[in-house]
Every structure is written in structure tokens, then in C-alpha cells.
Structure 1
């Protein structure tokens, strides 16, 4: 049974990750086209994004593994044969419990460390690619206006170091009102935390035209900030959100709310912390819940079984989403309680279902549906 759980789990994980990757390709198509990313870089970026989706995929795959295993056993009458041989349903619990526990440990690692590792590397890789693109855009001796609201000219530039010489920048962004900056030297610097590229200019002058007058201001250092959202479309690369932080970072904000930028940010952090615990333990809860559920649908085809299991997970995730929205809105129960309600509800259903199934008191839903369809067909044929 444990081997069958593992094989179905691997197949489910591969299928679900593949589907999500296809969706991400469509979502980030502007990013890939804008930065001219190759196949190797694309695969690397998707590898960094996978931990974020594993938090949801692993519980789904765990439930599917246990559900399809017991559905096959019940449909092939293996459960009946085991009961006839004196083996109760409770004696079959160790395999799904151990499997669900291992999946819980794996999801806990993803929740505590994997998500932050993936997002940090994803942001760093995108920033490096965007910085490389910005350096490529700054061709020596050419007036470059491919960056919105900026026209940049450099007599010479180094792609390796990002150093610029004899730089002219015309900045027409709203906050500056339109200025022309001339500097003998400059440098391109990237900032991963802020999600921006900076053009740092040294010992130059700023020319600002106001009607018929031109004002000149000298400077030792002047910084032109370029948000990556202007270069990279289809992905958020601004300040890090709670969903992309490590558990340690979330706890730091929890202890010191002054680190957060707004009350909304604090509420999202308060929701994210219990979510990082609730989702991993959903593996073992949904795994045990899948046992009596599969027995209730004895005789159902495997394809329909997949749809049924996904439907039950959708119910679970809908309840979790409602709790998350309620917590982020600041109303209702505290997130530390509300986010555990779906786990508690499905745990109760799992225990009750196991008890009724062991006592053979459950209703065969598949047989009941088939009976209703046949009766409806006979009535329709008689008319």
C-alpha cells in the first residue's frame, strides 16, 4: 500500500506541476519575451517558483494517492477479502498515516524555508537578467530611449562591470518634472530587496529648464532609480510580500510590527503564519479523510475518482480561502483559530467516516447514483 501511495503521489505531483508550469508560461510570456530569456534560464526560473506552488500541490497529491489506492482496492474487492481474512480497516491505517506524516514533514520544510529560498533566487535571477538587459540597452555612442521616461547616452560602457563614462540622462518622470543630467562617470547597480536598478552618477551637473530660464546644479552623486516593473512585465518584483517570506521573517514582523509598511501588511502576516502550519498538517488530515471517502465511492472509475478527490480538496481550500480573506480583512475569528477550522472539520469527518466504514454503515454513493440513473431511465422509457 505504501509503495502504491508513493507511485501515485509522484505521478500526481508531476502532472499538477506540469499543468501549473503551463499556466505560468502563459502568465509570464511578456517577461520571457521582454528579457529574451533562453530555455535554460526559463527552466531555472520555474524551478525557483515550484516551492511556492508545492505548498498547495503536496496536500492535493497526498489526498489523491490515498484516495485512488483505496478506491482501487475497494473496486477490486481487496478490502472485502481482507475483512474476510480478519483484517479490519484500522489495521490498514499505518500506511496512509506514515505516508501522510512524511508528506507533512516535506510540506513543513517547503513552508518554513523552501518558499523563501525559491522567491529570493527568483528575484535575484530576474534582477540579474534585467540588469544585463539594461547594460545591453546602453550601447556606447547611442541615444537609448527603450526605458520608459528615460533617455540615456553613454560614450562608453562596460557590460561586465556596469561602469559608464561621459553619461547624459534625460529624466522625464513625474517626480522630477523633467531634467537633463550630465556626468563624466556612472555605474549601474542592482538592488534585490527594493526590486530596482540604480544609475549612480558622479561629479556631474543637473540642468532644469523652467520656461525661458535654465537652472544648473552641481552634485557629487546623483541616483536615477528605475523600478524593475518598468523593464519586467507580468511579475511583481517590488518589496517582498508576506507570501514570499521565510517563517523567520514573518515572526520578526509579528514581534515588531514597526517593520511592516502598513496595517494591511501586518494583517497579511498574521494570516500567513498560521497558514504555514495549517497547510502541511492538511496532508495527514486529508490523507486519512480519503480512506472512508474512497470506500463510499466503491466501483467508481479512476478518472471520476480523480475529479471527486479534487472536488473535495476544492471544498477544503475554499474554506481555507474564506478564513484567509476574513483574517486579512480584520473581521471574524483570529487567523490563529480560523485557519485551523478546515483541518478540524475534515479531521472530524475522517474519524466519523473511518468508524462508520469499519462498521460497514456507510452508503455506497456510486451504487446509489447508478440506481437513480437507471430508475430515471426506465421512467423516461415508459413515457
Structure 2
């Protein structure tokens, strides 16, 4: 009887998990629709390139949707079983609530391993591929990299601010440029108008400015000069398309476990950089275990939801889920400032949720139903 029951519970968990994962991932993808529409309509980008950008973003979305889908699947499964009096029938047959733990624990452990694969391999791959493709697209169309009313850094040691961009003519209005490519001087250029022309075969962009002023500050001689111009061209050498110098320089969130360990142990890196690498490493390992902590936490919520005269439902489950990520955000804030060790900051949310799950499971197993805050209570209708 026990193996049959375990297979039955496992099958019941798979269906709501799949539906929840698809729905939540779709919602996250929908947040990118405005950017995607802007790229397709205004920048003439191909559908294949846009599809690739969405594909590379999926692992980052799944890092959040997998734990939430596990929690929803366990909650819905045992709410349904409680509503159909299946839990009462099992108790009447002498079965303890603890006998329901193995299939749930197995399911949550399996999802933990899948999420671990996502955070350790898929997320760094997706982030790095997204960066590489974005840089290649920026080479083909620099308008993708330049944003209105923002400080843009599309080129090394160069900051560009543009108040307005005419997409059709690629004309720039009210241009401000800080050029620090020369280590001995800094050039501040202000122009009323400009245009950016690309020469992809040569790996060069030319920024043509009109009606402006150049303020040149010489650092070694402590001198300043001002030059007015009607037309002025600035060339930016970004290299040929196969140039990978900038592309291969990964950020911490684009690194795998081995790369993060190398940075964390590298004495040549600064203390802050090594600390950030340890934070990123612990985050990649800690987030997957949210599947286990939140999944086990959903078990007593689902068992009690219809066995008493009140039902916490999704309100309390959402409260715990948001509480987990609030603790994770606080951990990043405290750990990032050096106030707490990275291990404590990143693993504390799992410990809190896991401890809460153990407590609530013991309460339900002992028929000691816990009381919910009135905010999360849904009273059953009187007949």
C-alpha cells in the first residue's frame, strides 16, 4: 500500500508543478515584452536575435519560479487531498502524517537538484551569452547601447549622455561626453547635435558633433584649455567583430563555481572583490535549497487548510515565500556590507523556513492546529 500511495502523491505533485512553472515563467517573460517590442520596431532586430535574448533570460527567471512552483504544487496537492477527505481516510487507516513526508521530500529534493543545476550552470551561461549577444548587437547598431537621459558607457573610459535620440535619422541632441582614454588628460565635450556613424569592417565608430565646446584638462601640467568648434569627429576603436577582449571579461554573476572559488582565493584581488565572490558563491548554492524548505513548509499548510474551520490558502504561502526573499535581500545587504559572514547571510533564510516547516509539521502531526493571523484566515461558509 505504501509504495502505491507514494507514487500517487508524486503524480499528484507533478501536474500543478508543471502548470505553475509554465505560468510563472510566462509572467516573468511578459515583463520583457516592452523591451522586445522596442528592439523589433525601432532597431530593426531580427526575431531570431530577440528569441535568443529571451532564451538566455529564462535561467534567471527559473531561479525564482522553480522554488515558488514547488511550494504551490505541494500546497495545492494536499489542499485537494484534504478537501476530498483522503487525508481523513489515511488517518482512519492508522497512518501517521509523517508517512506522507517521503514522497514530498523526494519531490522537493529532485527539484532542489534541478534548481542547483540552473543556478550553478544555466544562469552563468545565460548571463554570459546575453552579454555577448548584447555586445554583438551593439556593434551592429549602437543605438541599442545608447539610452536617452542616461549616462552610457558603450566604449572603454568614455561616458556619453544624450538628452534625445531620433531613431529614424540616428541624430543625437544635446550631447555630453567625458573622454578619459588619455591617462594624462580628460576631455569634456558638449555639443548641440551629433550623429554616430559605424564602420563595422574597420571596427571603428565615428561620433560627428556640431556646434560645441571642448574643455581639455591636462592632469600632468594642471592646465585647462577650451576650444569651440562647428564640426568635430571623435573616433572609437572597438575592434573587429571577432575581437573578444571585452566579451571574455566576465562579471561575478556570469561565473561558475570554479571561477568564483578562484576569485575568492586569489590574493591579488581586493578584499571587497573576494567578499563579493563568496557572497555570489553561497547564493548559488543556497537558493536551490529553498525548494526543500518551502516545499516542506507547504505540507502542513495544505494539511490544515480544510481540516479546520479556517483556511490559510495562498495568502500565508505567499507571505512565507515573500518572507524568504526578503530575508535573502536583507542577507545580501548585511553580507555585502561585511556585517555578516557570507555563509550566514545567504543560508539564514533556508534555516528560518526549514525550522518553521519542522515546527508546523509537528503541530499538525500532533493534531495541534496552529492559529493563523486574521489577515490570512479564510472562513468557511456556514451551511
When normalised by structure 1's length, the TM-score is 0.69
* Inter-CA distance 110–163: structure 2 relative to 1 (3 Å threshold): same
**Secondary structure of the equivalent of 2:141?**
helix
Alignment of 1:258 with 2:273, yes or no, is no
Which 4+ residue blocks in structure 1 deviate beyond 6 angstroms?
146-150, 165-169, 171-179, 371-374
State the 1:339 CA deviation.
Answer: 1.7
Contact 2:75 2:298 in 1 (8 A): yes
**Secondary structure of the equivalent of 1:61?**
helix
Alignment of 1:355 with 2:362, yes or no, is yes
Distance in 2 between residues matched to 1:190 and 1:300, nearest whole Å: 66
Contact 1:165 1:186 in 2 (8 A): yes
2:329 corresponds to: 321
2:254 corresponds to: 244
State the 1:27 CA deviation.
Answer: 5.5
State the 1:266 CA deviation.
Answer: 3.6
1:284 corresponds to: 292
**Secondary structure of the equivalent of 1:126?**
helix
How many residues end up aligned between the 2 structures? 315
2:131 maps to which of 123, 128, 131: 123
Distance in 1 between residues matched to 2:120 and 2:93, nearest whole Å: 44
Q: How does 1:121-270 map to 2 (within 5 A)?
A: 121-133=129-141, 162-164=200-202, 170=208, 180=233, 188-189=240-241, 194=246, 240-259=250-269, 264-270=272-278
Moved more, 25-34 or 103-112: 25-34
Contact 1:71 1:297 in 2 (8 A): yes
Distance in 2 between residues matched to 1:344 and 1:67, nearest whole Å: 20
Contact 1:254 1:270 in 2 (8 A): yes
2:353 corresponds to: 346
1:36 corresponds to: 44
- Cα-to-partner distance string for 1:38-79 (whole Å, 9 max, x where unaligned): 433222211101111222221111111111111111122211
Distance in 1 between residues matched to 2:276 and 2:321, nearest whole Å: 23
* Inter-CA distance 28–318: structure 2 relative to 1 (3 Å threshold): farther
Alignment of 1:68 with 2:88, yes or no, is no
Q: Which runs of 5+ in 2 are unaligned?
A: 1-8, 144-168, 178-193, 218-226
Alignment of 1:271 with 2:279, yes or no, is yes
State the 1:11 CA deviation.
Answer: 0.7
State the 1:280 CA deviation.
Answer: 0.8
* Inter-CA distance 192–14: structure 2 relative to 1 (3 Å threshold): farther
- Cα-to-partner distance string for 1:200-233 (whole Å, 9 max, x where unaligned): xxxxxxxxxxxxxxxxxxxxxxxxxxxxxxxxxx
**Secondary structure of the equivalent of 2:370?**
coil
Moved more, 15-24 or 337-346: 337-346
Distance in 2 between residues matched to 1:105 and 1:249, nearest whole Å: 21
Distance in 2 between residues matched to 1:129 and 1:247, nearest whole Å: 28
Distance in 2 between residues matched to 1:278 and 1:336, nearest whole Å: 9
When normalised by structure 2's length, the TM-score is 0.69
Distance in 1 between residues matched to 2:265 and 2:204, nearest whole Å: 48
* Inter-CA distance 65–191: structure 2 relative to 1 (3 Å threshold): farther
* Inter-CA distance 175–358: structure 2 relative to 1 (3 Å threshold): farther
State the 1:105 CA deviation.
Answer: 0.6
State the 1:37 CA deviation.
Answer: 2.6
Contact 2:260 2:281 in 1 (8 A): yes
- Cα-to-partner distance string for 1:295-342 (whole Å, 9 max, x where unaligned): 2322699x97334322211011111111111001111x2111232112
Moved more, 90-99 or 249-258: 249-258
Contact 1:111 1:247 in 2 (8 A): no
Contact 1:296 1:364 in 2 (8 A): no
Contact 1:127 1:192 in 2 (8 A): no
Q: How does 1:81-100 map to 2 (within 5 A)?
A: 81-100=89-108
Distance in 2 between residues matched to 1:119 and 1:54, nearest whole Å: 13
Distance in 1 between residues matched to 2:323 and 2:14, nearest whole Å: 24
**Secondary structure of the equivalent of 1:194?**
coil
State the 1:274 CA deviation.
Answer: 1.0
Distance in 1 between residues matched to 2:23 and 2:286, nearest whole Å: 24
State the 1:264 CA deviation.
Answer: 4.5
Distance in 2 between residues matched to 1:93 and 1:240, nearest whole Å: 42
1:223 corresponds to: none
